Structure 1
Amino acid sequence: MYVKRILPNGVRLITERIDNMRTVSVGIWVGNGSRYEPAELGGVSHFIEHMIFKGTEKRSARHIAIAIDALGGQANAFTDKECTCYYMKVLDSRLKNGVALLADMFLHSRFAQEDLELERGVVLEEIDMYEDSPEDVAIDKLFERCYDGSALGRPILGTAETLEPMTSETLHKYMREYYRPQDTVVAVSGHFTDDDLDFIEELFSEMQGEGKNVITPAAYQPSLFLRDKEIEQNHLCLSFPGVSLVSEDRFAMNLLSSILGGGMSSRLFQSVREQNGLCYSIYTFTTPHLDTGLLSIYTGLGQETERKALDLILRELDEFCQNGPAPDELSRCREQVKTTLLMGLENTGNRMMTIGRSELLRGEVSKIEEVLDSYDSVTADDILNLARRVFDRSKASLAVVGQPDSEDTYRELLR
């Protein structure tokens, strides 16, 4: 059962007690990510995420690293388009020590200028690392093009140009203005006591600030992105406008994605790889956000098989829009999605991620039974109607990284 406390300053504490566990996972979720940043501060949220681990008023970066290892736990963080999360997993007996450390990092980071200079280099190396992954380049650059002109389309990591002017005061000022109590959720899942929760509440009661961050709506636009890269394969990402993370169609969308490219028995894997041998890897994925979303297909293949594979993918989508899913497909994929969901509940880290993200972005946490019922209620007609809305070729977007053909060639294929 999920229990929510709202602190006087607006911080939400969402908890799930599991008595038969020895571990507990804690996450500090902030309703701030790259799409909230001013253009000139692109990447500042991710930079802050890095700097949180670099020392507080009473702990050095080395002290923090030693303390985390001494707890025998795991600690990390990530920045997304719409949120940032700092999290830790420890034994229940060490929860207070762990959360005290995490709260100190979150509330009292120094952002020393000498540390900032060093970490800026680390972030620049991270940007270069992604540039060396053609799969990431295809997916991320296409997303940027689809939402070009909006904050949602800007890269999470920022750029060398936006990172260079940032100082310690830049980061402190941004945290004061964008890390707000009402936009903060502390999620706890695992074995803990009421005294543990009172301790957590006391730690986060000192957080100050008012109001909530507001997104600027993003509009999807069909796009074509081509990048020459000296590699053996061409990496393709084909995207269509999908649904938001609060849409009633999100369950049907997840099943549609699973049927098309969610596993070895999926349509695209069977057709493109198993029956025609055109690629090694092909899969589908969804990218839902608060007000928009994408459904995408990725594959990597040789230049000589690219045209045939892309044509085959489009024909599979057309056929699906004609006839929809077969009964055994829907049944199989429904069970696959539900089983994956249930198996994830055996890990307190996964459970914490689920309740924290849900409370932060949707303002509620659904019971697992309600989620399973939502998947069970999706019909073949629901998926067929959704596919017909989504797979409109006039709204298709495509990225090709490797040795791409001409723009006209791809535009002709997408007609």
Structure 2
Amino acid sequence: MHDPLLLPLDQAELSAELGGGTIRRTVHPSGLRILTERMPGSRSASIGFWVGVGSRDEQAERGDAPGSLGSTHFLEHLLFKGTPSRDAYEIATSFDRIGAESNALTAKEFTCYYAKVRDADVEHSVQVLADMVTNSTLDASEFDLERGVILEELAMAADDLADVANERFFEVVMGDHPLGRPIGGNPGTIREARRDDVDRHYRDRYDPTTLVVTAAGAVDHDRLVELVLAALNASPEERWHTERSGAPVRRAQVVREDQDPAAAGSEPEFDAVSRPSEQINIMIGTRGFAATDPRRFAYGIMNSVLGGGMSSRLFQEIREKRGLAYTAYSFGASYSDAGLFAMYAGTATEKAEEVVELSRLELQKIADSGITEEEHADALGQIAGSTALALEDTETRMGRLARAELGSGELYGLDASLARFNAVTAGEIQAVAAHLSASPLSVVAVGDVARSGLGKAG
């Protein structure tokens, strides 16, 4: 199959064979969506409860209107802290006693609570995850305790200068747009967060219309649908009920709404974060490509050649030929309406200017002259191999289902994805590099910047 599997929101049931697995999808009248991929021979399953609400959906306080900054990350922690039927310890032991891998993640456009379990424990795990997501008490005493935990988490990240550079780079490139805010919040928003505001965010944004449940591996779709619907309808919180008095709840159908466009800046910026350090952590880049941009396949190949591995141009030029850094790479981040492109290296203070110039130069070379046939072939091989290896894992496939459902509405199997990459021309790759190099390239540096001479690098 060389075309993506489309996921129209007005189609209640869908079934397809894709990449050796069976994909099934149910869209309930309440707006709840459940997707599964049955993988033959698997004895485990990964299950995720995905809520289409991320850090970009938080609101600042406006006059008398309460704010919700930091609420998304707070909820990721608090939903493990207890429900009317399970306290925090019971939630933890519910997963530990079956050897499950369980966790949660907060992103800019969604939040996920998940578990990877053996096939015999799917029902138990669905019940616990559903209880957490639908019935959290957000206990006031746990709220204050978890505030301290989150502040320690942020402090740990603040000690990692590469993390600091990454967060500041998003702020610089995305500007005032909500995508520029740190996913986990900052110490200020976490200290000021109020339990009632987080609870309001939870009750306003978490319901069947924002919930997507995905599972991959040894999973039976019909049984999973039964389990999820039963768990939601058993919730003491009426907003989760998918049926009332025996009749389906006919809510407005969930739609993929256009976000406020994330307008790009017109001028490059230089931003320095002064920290005592033996190295300068540097990020150079600009706006990239949205998740649905047709140029994303050409960008994937360009990025592989520029900074996608040990044979990439950045790694070879900066580390192997000149010994200026332990690592150097490029990457991209894509969202519903915007993207970000960056090149990273950590280097000695006195070498920082040279690394910035070399990074810019390598991007410019691709913009001016493109890539070689050998580089093109190697990049396609790298993409094919890494994608195939990733799809051996049930957790990756579970996440792929959710990101397709919450994002583009298109699910790419391995063959369809590789067909798109193979169709990319050398001219399209060069055009992507030219677009990026012609954009305002901002520089963020973290370390003893005063000694680096980078003040004039922006």
TM-score normalised to structure 1 length: 0.95
User: What is aligned with 1:16?
Assistant: 37
Kept after mapping to 1: 8 A contact 2:287/2:339: yes
Kept after mapping to 2: 8 A contact 1:142/1:224: no
Distance 1:391 1:204, change over 3 A: farther
Of residues 304, 323, 343 in structure 2, which corresponds to 1:277?
323
Aligned partners of 2:260, 2:414: CA distance in 1, in Å? 32
TM alignment of 1:122-161, pairs within 5 A: 122-161=149-188
Distance 1:329 1:8, change over 3 A: same
- One-letter code aligned to 1:133: D
Kept after mapping to 2: 8 A contact 1:52/1:109: yes
- One-letter code aligned to 2:399: M
User: What is aligned with 2:70?
Assistant: 43
| Post-superposition CA distance 1:73-115 (Å, at most 9, x none) | 1110010111101111101111000110000000001110000
Aligned partners of 2:347, 2:191: CA distance in 1, in Å? 37
Aligned partners of 1:310, 1:147: CA distance in 2, in Å? 20
Secondary structure of the structure 2 residue equivalent to 1:280: strand
> Within the alignment, does 1:197 sit opposite 2:243 as a pair?
no
Of residues 105, 111, 131 in structure 2, which corresponds to 1:104?
131
Aligned partners of 1:280, 1:348: CA distance in 2, in Å? 33
Kept after mapping to 1: 8 A contact 2:333/2:339: yes
User: What is aligned with 2:9?
Assistant: none
Specify every segment of 5 or more residues in structure 2 that has no aligned partner in the other structure, as ranges: 1-21, 62-67, 242-250
Q: CA RMSD in A?
A: 1.9
Q: CA deviation at 1:365?
A: 1.6
142-151 or 48-57, which moves further after superposition?
142-151
Q: CA deviation at 1:266?
A: 0.4
308-317 or 318-327, which moves further after superposition?
308-317
Higher helix share: 1
Distance 1:322 1:68, change over 3 A: same
Aligned partners of 1:165, 1:227: CA distance in 2, in Å? 24
104-113 or 219-228, which moves further after superposition?
219-228
- One-letter code aligned to 1:201: L
User: What is aligned with 1:307?
Assistant: 353
Aligned partners of 1:312, 1:330: CA distance in 2, in Å? 21
User: What is aligned with 2:420?
Assistant: 374
Kept after mapping to 2: 8 A contact 1:11/1:204: no
Q: CA deviation at 1:412?
A: 4.7
Aligned partners of 1:218, 1:271: CA distance in 2, in Å? 33
Distance 1:182 1:223, change over 3 A: farther
Aligned partners of 1:204, 1:379: CA distance in 2, in Å? 49
Q: CA deviation at 1:150?
A: 1.8
Q: CA deviation at 1:148?
A: 2.1
| Post-superposition CA distance 1:213-262 (Å, at most 9, x none) | 76332223233210110010000000122100111111111111111011
Kept after mapping to 1: 8 A contact 2:103/2:114: yes
Aligned partners of 2:84, 2:295: CA distance in 1, in Å? 47
- One-letter code aligned to 1:395: P
Secondary structure of the structure 2 residue equivalent to 1:352: helix
TM alignment of 1:325-344, pairs within 5 A: 325-344=371-390
- One-letter code aligned to 2:116: K
Aligned partners of 2:51, 2:224: CA distance in 1, in Å? 21
Aligned partners of 1:195, 1:14: CA distance in 2, in Å? 12
Number of aligned residues: 412
User: What is aligned with 1:218?
Assistant: 262
Kept after mapping to 2: 8 A contact 1:184/1:360: no
> Within the alignment, does 1:81 sit opposite 2:81 as a pair?
no
Q: CA deviation at 1:52?
A: 0.4
116-125 or 139-148, which moves further after superposition?
139-148
Specify every segment of 5 or more residues in structure 1 that has no aligned partner in the other structure, as ranges: none
Aligned partners of 1:258, 1:122: CA distance in 2, in Å? 37
Secondary structure of the structure 1 residue equivalent to 2:311: coil
Aligned partners of 1:215, 1:49: CA distance in 2, in Å? 23
- One-letter code aligned to 1:216: D
What fraction of aligned residue pairs are identical, expressed as a percent? Answer: 34
Q: CA deviation at 1:164?
A: 3.0
TM-score normalised to structure 2 length: 0.86
318-327 or 53-62, which moves further after superposition?
318-327
User: What is aligned with 1:32?
Assistant: 53
32-41 or 323-332, which moves further after superposition?
32-41
Aligned partners of 2:57, 2:445: CA distance in 1, in Å? 29
Kept after mapping to 2: 8 A contact 1:42/1:156: no
104-113 or 34-43, which moves further after superposition?
34-43
Aligned partners of 1:160, 1:266: CA distance in 2, in Å? 37
> Within the alignment, does 1:262 sit opposite 2:308 as a pair?
yes
> Within the alignment, does 1:395 sit opposite 2:440 as a pair?
yes
